[in-house]
Amino acid sequence: MADRLKGKIAVVFGAGSSGEGWGNGKAAAVAFAREGARVACIDISQAAAEETAAIINGEGGVAIALAADVTRQASIDSAVAATMTRFGRINILHNNVGVTHMGGPVELSEEQFQAAIDLNLGPVYRCSKAVIPHMLAGGGGAIVNISSIAAIRWVGYPYFAYYATKAAVNQATVALAMQYARQGIRANCIMPGLIDTPMIYKQISAQYPSVEEMVAARDALVPMGKMGTAWDIANAAVFLASDEAKFITGVCLPVDGGQTCGASGVG
């Protein structure tokens, strides 16, 4: 266990995985702990949060598991209050919850469009609303939001609401960074490219004839030749949350194997 986050308290929303393996939030929570942070693992699934917390505690770290629905402010407030009761402060807020729905405005239902707003953009607002007062009281903190390269590029999938809401996450991050820069709060976001996580097998694979073809096609679109992993996102999150990034705020960082360097973002 290293010490880049020693003494810090991190809250990770979306700390469970949406299937077997390592999702971005699960990896981030464990990576924070391995760098010395104590972590509140928060997920809509109590069981998923407990699985992540058990990994951290099993490695000698300190973590608690909490359930929260990020579409409900009261639920978030309750999880944040429980974190404060246990740890007394919050230094790092990591927002990792998101959803994809395929389709443009013609194909998307009103419910799917609203769900994208509630689950992709809503947590940045609601979780910040709950956590920032505690950060201000404690003298500052670091916010890391998970966006997507879909915020700035067409990536080949017809998911109108995902593009729109992830673009909003980027600018919401900038707004947070600028408003609170003089009060010791930094805000940055990570824009993952094509990452091999459990979510793609649930939400993306139907776009392909088979899972194997999905993996091959996504690997082929990455200039470095292969999709990234959740640990690539987690390592970036650790850096942005740490004092090594103390002069970095308002940044939307691609972690994409070079994909956004292409003109279209799709190869």
Catalytic residue among 125, 157, 159, 162: 162
Helix spans in the chain (H): 24-34, 46-58, 73-87, 110-116, 122-138, 160-180, 198-203, 211-221, 230-241
Q: Could you confirm whether 208 is annotated as catalytic? A: no
Cβ atoms of 11 and 94 within 8 Å: the answer is yes
The Cβ-side half-sphere exposure at 26, using a 13 Å CA radius, reads 23
Q: Which residues contact 190 (CB under 8 A, 6 or more apart)?
A: 144, 145, 146, 147, 233, 236, 237, 240, 253, 255
**89/18 Cα distance (integer angstroms):** 28
What are the φ/ψ torsions at residue 124 (nearest 5 degrees)? Answer: -60, -40
Q: What residues are labeled active site?
A: 162
